[in-house]
Amino acid sequence: MEKYNYNKLNEYLKNRYGEKTLKICLDGGFSCPNRDGKVSTGGCIFCSGKGSGEHINSDISIENQVKNYFSSYKAKRANKFIAYFQNFTNTYDSIENLEKKYNEALIDDRIVCLSVATRPDCVNEDICRLLAKFKKRVDVWVELGLQTSNDNTGKLINRGYDTYIFKSALELLNKYQLEAIVHIMIGLPNESLDELKDTVIFLNSQNYQGIKIHSTYVVKGTKLEELYNQGKYNSIELKDYIENACYVITHINPKVIVHKISGDAPKNLLVAPEWNLHKKLILNGINRYLKENNLHQGMYYKEI
């Protein structure tokens, strides 16, 4: 088995659950306050119309999405699974509806974890209490979009919340002992390595358990595509992305689990960069760069 110089998710899951564990990606039928007018109507400038859920069949109930997965060839590849509410804001509803939707996903004993992707401004005490209740049945992860600690960039990408909101949400998750997975993005408009360093420094002052490192890609029908077509945004080169991703890996807490090191753009919607379509190229490039330069996760980590 190939060894990695960082805490790769697949290896972590095997150690945690004793065997291969896969995600079931679910569409919970949620909206987003950054789209429905509560915060904004445009969404983040990089977010497509399906809110990063292009690969999910959202025309059926949550329960049937799970049943269809277990009826497919995919379920034969493992014995344990994670119910992953992926697209849009999966805590943006009443407590009653949230509990109902989460329960609809947990219909099979092979599901060992409930993972919920959301926005920091949609995390409050009541939601954390609800999620903590589910810990009696399964593990619970909460994914929080930070993208950057730079609030000027946050405004530019129409994130809709300041970094202090993220910090407050993370503190709530810590209070209820809910595992937090943080999303950051490399290659955002007007950001250089300096801004990425600031984001890493900020993260090193926080208590979180996992990280997703995303490349910034341009998809059709977004504000970012408009900026790209106008020559106001240039997508990051693969070489630079690999080097920047390795900077993050070598400077974050060595205990953090790396859930992702690249974004997955839908082929039919991708505008740029073209290299984003070649996931193995990206993963192998990062792994090679770390090994050739004798680098490993957390070697430059400084606790703040």
Please give the backbone phi and psi of residue 179, each rounded to the nearest 5 degrees, phi first. -70, 130
Any idea what the Cα angle at residue 170 is, between residues 169 and 176, rounded to 5°?
Answer: 95
Return the pLDDT at 53: 45
| CA quadruple 53, 57, 59, 63: dihedral sign | negative
Residue 172 · residue 126 · CB < 8 Å: no
Q: Which domain holds residue 92?
A: 9-292
| Residue 2 within a domain | no
* Rounded CA separation 237/186 (Å): 11
Residue 203 · residue 252 · CB < 8 Å: yes
Percent of the chain topping pLDDT 70 = 96
| Residue 156 within a domain | yes
User: What average pLDDT score do residues 294-303 get?
Assistant: 95
Buried b (16+ CB within 10 A) or exposed e, 20-58: ebbbbbbbbebebbbbeeebeeebbbbbbebbbbbebeb
What domain count does the chain have?
Answer: 1
Confidence class for position 54, pLDDT limits 50, 70, 90: very low
pLDDT digits (tens, 9 = 90+) for 102-149: 999 999 999 999 999 999 999 999 999 999 999 999 999 999 999 999
| Residue 99 within a domain | yes
- Please list the residues that pair with 179 across neighbouring strands: 141
| Residue 1 within a domain | no
Confidence class for position 57, pLDDT limits 50, 70, 90: low
Q: Which single residue is written with the structure tokens 């974890």? A: 113
Any idea what the Cα angle at residue 89 is, between residues 87 and 92, rounded to 5°?
Answer: 145
Return the pLDDT at 241: 98
| Residue 105 within a domain | yes
Return the pLDDT at 4: 87
Q: Residue 77's domain is classified under what CATH number?
A: 3.20.20.70
Tell how strand 270-272 and strand 218-219 pair up: antiparallel
User: What average pLDDT score do residues 282-303 get?
Assistant: 96
42-51, 188-197, 202-211, 277-286, range with the lowest pLDDT: 42-51
pTM above threshold 0.85: yes
* Rounded CA separation 99/112 (Å): 17
| Residue 214 within a domain | yes
* Rounded CA separation 283/264 (Å): 12
| Residue 304 within a domain | no
Q: Look over the chain and give the mean of its residue pLDDT values, rounded to a whole number.
A: 94
User: What average pLDDT score do residues 206-214 get?
Assistant: 98
pLDDT digits (tens, 9 = 90+) for 218-267: 999 999 999 999 999 999 999 999 999 999 999 999 999 999 999 888 89
Please give the backbone phi and psi of residue 246, each rounded to the nearest 5 degrees, phi first. -70, -30
| Residue 205 within a domain | yes
* Rounded CA separation 198/200 (Å): 5
User: 3-state SS of the chain?
Assistant: CCCCCCCEHHHHHHHHHCCCEEEEEECCCCCCCCCCCCCCCCCCCCCCCCCCCCCCCCCCCHHHHHHHHHHCHHHHHCCEEEEEECCCCCCCCCHHHHHHHHHHHCCCCCEEEEEEEECHHHCCHHHHHHHHHHCCCCEEEEEEEEECCCHHHHHHCCCCCCHHHHHHHHHHHHHCCCEEEEEEEECCCCCCHHHHHHHHHHHCCCCCCEEEEEECCEECCCHHHHHHHCCCCCCCCHHHHHHHHHHHHHHCCCCCEEEECCCCCCCCCEEECHHHHCHHHHHHHHHHHHHHCCCCCCCCCCCC
pLDDT digits (tens, 9 = 90+) for 175-207: 999 999 999 999 999 999 999 999 999 999 999
